[in-house]
Amino acid sequence: MTSIGIETEIKLAVASAAAGRAALRRAGFRVSKRRVFERNTVFDTPARTLGKAGCLLRIRRAGRVVTLTYKGPPDVSRHKSREEVEQEIAGARAITAIVGRLGFEPVFRYEKYRTEYRQPPGGGMATLDETPIGVYLELEGAPRWIDRAARQLGFTESQYITASYAGLYFAWCGRRGIEPSHMVYRNEA
């Protein structure tokens, strides 16, 4: 699958996966893709050129699906919007080697369990992301749909989160006085 477009999204913190699932059900959302474990690796140059520009290069392994993603610099208002280019690929090993040969190195890894939801008759997508630092609902779609869905889920605009998972992880570590490493379930060297 190839996808090129503008991604517009927010995150919403929820108390637990069960609370997130209950809120989604009450708002009429139904599972569109079952829960899957994701391993994400973010790449950058040794000088962190992409990160400094607000861009991202990522390889995601979600079950048997491997996706290479580029995200452009974000435009942040109450929602975060940015260019997103994604391509599913046959395997992570070769694309990781290619990315490395081009001068990129792994700089951050993060893991999560993700379940995707849709709300008939259409609109955007909600995901329930269970991460090592908490549980989040992510709403992706047109800004008006995001605002309406957030209200249906019981959230206000003041609860919108536009930070990336890396940003949330580094803030979480800072609040706890922990030296940041990778946002993974087992701390692997």
Name residue 109's beta-bridge partners: 41
Q: How confident is the model at residue 89 (pLDDT cuts 50, 70, 90)?
A: very high
Residue 105 sits in which domain range?
A: 2-176
Q: What's the CA gap between 116 and 65, in Å, rounded?
A: 15
Residue 106 lies in a domain: yes
pLDDT of 163 higher than 70: yes
pLDDT of 187 higher than 90: no
pLDDT of 106 higher than 90: yes
Give the pLDDT confidence score for residue 180 in this predicted structure: 96
Give the pLDDT confidence score for residue 186 in this predicted structure: 81
Q: How confident is the model at residue 177 (pLDDT cuts 50, 70, 90)?
A: very high
User: Which residues 6+ apart lie within 8 Å of 123 measured at CB?
Assistant: 141, 142, 145, 149
Residue 68 lies in a domain: yes
Give the pLDDT confidence score for residue 189 in this predicted structure: 43
Residue 136 lies in a domain: yes
Rounded average pLDDT over 126-142: 98
Give the pLDDT confidence score for residue 2 in this predicted structure: 87
Rounded average pLDDT over 127-151: 98
Q: What is the DSSP string of 16-84?
A: -HHHHHHHHHHTT-EEEEEEEEEEEEEEE-TT-HHHHTT-EEEEEEETTEEEEEEE---EESSSEEEEE
Residue 189 lies in a domain: no
At residue 149, the 3 state secondary structure works out as helix
Give the pLDDT confidence score for residue 25 in this predicted structure: 97
Residue 183 lies in a domain: no
CATH at residue 92: 2.40.320.10
CB 104 within 8 A of CB 44: yes
pLDDT of 122 higher than 80: no
Closest Cα partner for 65 from 137, 140, 1?
1
Residue 32 lies in a domain: yes
Count of domains in the chain? 1
Residue 181 lies in a domain: no
The pTM of this model reads 0.93
Rounded average pLDDT over 170-187: 94
CB 45 within 8 A of CB 119: no
Residue 108 lies in a domain: yes
